[in-house]
Amino acid sequence: MQAKWKAALIWLVLAVAGFYLINELIVVGVINAFIENMLVTIGINIILATGLNLIIGFSGQFSLGHAGFMAIGAYATAIITQQMSNTLGFYLSLGVGMVIAMLVAVVIGIPTLRLRGDYLAIATMGAAEIIRVVINNLKITNGAAGMYNIPALANWPTVYVFVCLTTLMIVNFARSRAGRAIQAIREDEIAAEAVGINPTKWKLAAFVMGAATAAIGGSLHAVYIQTIAPSDFGIMQSISLLIIVVLGGVGSITGTFVGRNRARGAGHGVAAIWRAADGDLRLSPDFDYGVQA
């Protein structure tokens, strides 16, 4: 009982301290607008990547469609804040985006999560592309031109709070009954079924949870960047998120934070080659996203 309060307190202190540190650095001018912008982008990517890590790292399902759910959140916010351009509108749109993303995740997940490894990757990638093509052709989303002049309803503290909240929730999810069930499926699906874990149900739970966080990331992206277009949410965006997750260490939440910084610092492609050649990917040694031997 003592330990749990201690851990919670440490995290709270760290979160508040981090907030004050950034705040002070902005006040004294060490963090200028450029760095602040970069930090916010990093924060949004942390939100997106922790959600993807839940799907890939913890439940072992190789999804390449994260950008699709991000797009849903971003567009929900862009459309709703056109009518309600205030904070209430933003939080409403955030909720709407999450709900739609979760529903879409259920529709996509039920048929595709039966697939394994690369087949699942390619199917989820296709599903995300379908979402993107639909957005590209709708009137309400303004087609390929995208949406601009989205009200700036999020600043760095908003993003900071959401980074803390989503990370906390995902860590808690991963370290509980649900987390044990999805990790058991990742380790051995047949054995997991033999001990009463329904793989379809739990894989879907992780997928839907990941989709919800992607929608949060998308909503924040929309109100922070203020301009979105379907081309922002293509395959390359999904792949970038995958790279962040892999560089940080599949199945490691702290890694998602670090990986984000590395990928930004070195440029995706170069970082990937360099890190891979270095043999220093902090993956579990025989992590394999498929069952094929």
Partner 1 sequence: MQTFFQQVINGLSLGSIYALLALGYTMVYGIIKLINFAHGDIYMIGAFWGYYVINQYHVDFGVALVSAMAVSAILGMVIEYLAYRPLRHSPRITALITAIGVSYFLENGMSFLFGANTWNFPQVIGQARYTFFGVTITNIQLLIVAVALVLMVGLQLIVQHTRMGTAMRAVAVDQEAAELVGIDPNHIISFTFGLGSALAGAAGVLIGLYYNSIDPLMGMVPGIKAFVAAVVGGIGSIPGAAIGGFLIGLLETFVQAIGLSAYKDAAVYIVLIIILIVLPAGLLGKNVKEKV
Partner 2 sequence: MALLTVTKLSKQFGGLDAVADVDMHVDAGELVALIGPNGAGKTTLFNLLTGVTPATSGKVTLTTASGKVALLGKRPSDIAKLGLARTFQNIRLFSKLSVRDNLQAAMTHRYHENFFAEILRLPAYYKKEALVGGWTDALLREFDLTAVADLDAGNLPYGTQRRVEIARAAATAPRIIFLDEPAAGMNPEETAGLRALIEKLRTDFQLTVVLIEHDMSLVMNLAERIYVLDHGKMIAEGTPAQIQKDPAVIAAYLGGGVHA
**Positions in the binding site for partner 1 (CB under 8 A):** 62, 111-112, 114-116, 118-119, 121-123, 125-127, 129-130, 133-134, 136-137, 190, 235, 239, 242-243, 246-247, 250, 268-273, 276-277, 279, 281, 283-292
Compute how many residues bind partner 2; rule: CB under 8 A: 28
**Between 262 and 282, whose beta carbon lies closer to partner 2?**
282
Q: What is the separation of C-alpha 18 from the centre of its chain, rounded to a whole number of angstroms?
A: 21
Q: What is the DSSP letter of 145?
A: G
**Between 139 and 177, whose beta carbon lies closer to partner 2?**
177
Q: Mask: binding to partner 2, 131-170, rule CB under 8 A, as x and -?
A: -------------------------------------xxx
For partner 2, the binding residues in 5-24 under the rule CB under 8 A are: 8
What does residue 147 show for φ and ψ, rounded to 5 degrees?
-120, 140
**Between 33 and 277, whose beta carbon lies closer to partner 1?**
277
By the rule CB under 8 A, 181 interacts with partner 2: yes
By the rule CB under 8 A, 188 interacts with partner 2: yes
By the rule CB under 8 A, 176 interacts with partner 2: yes
Question: How far is residue 202 from each of residues 145, 189, 190, measured CA to CA in Å?
Answer: 38, 11, 14
**Between 168 and 266, whose beta carbon lies closer to partner 1?**
266
Tell me whether residue 194 is exposed, middle or buried, using C-beta atoms within 10 angstroms of its C-beta: 0 to 12, 13 to 18, 19 or more.
exposed
Contact segment (CB under 8 A) with partner 2 among 101-109, 148-156, 174-182, 252-260 equals 174-182
Q: How many helices (H) and strands (E) would you count in the chain? A: 12, 0
Rounded CA separation 244/263 (Å): 6
By the rule CB under 8 A, 178 interacts with partner 2: yes
Question: How far is residue 109 from each of residues 10, 53, 173, 249, measured CA to CA in Å?
Answer: 37, 16, 19, 24
By the rule CB under 8 A, 198 interacts with partner 2: yes
Rounded CA separation 114/229 (Å): 32
What does residue 198 show for φ and ψ, rounded to 5 degrees?
-85, 110
What, of partner 2, partner 1, none, does residue 127 touch, CB below 5 to 8 Å by kind? partner 1
CA atoms within 13 A on the CB side of 145: 6
Give residues in contact with partner 2 (CB under 8 A).
1, 4, 8, 168-170, 172-173, 176-178, 180-181, 183-184, 187-188, 190-199, 284
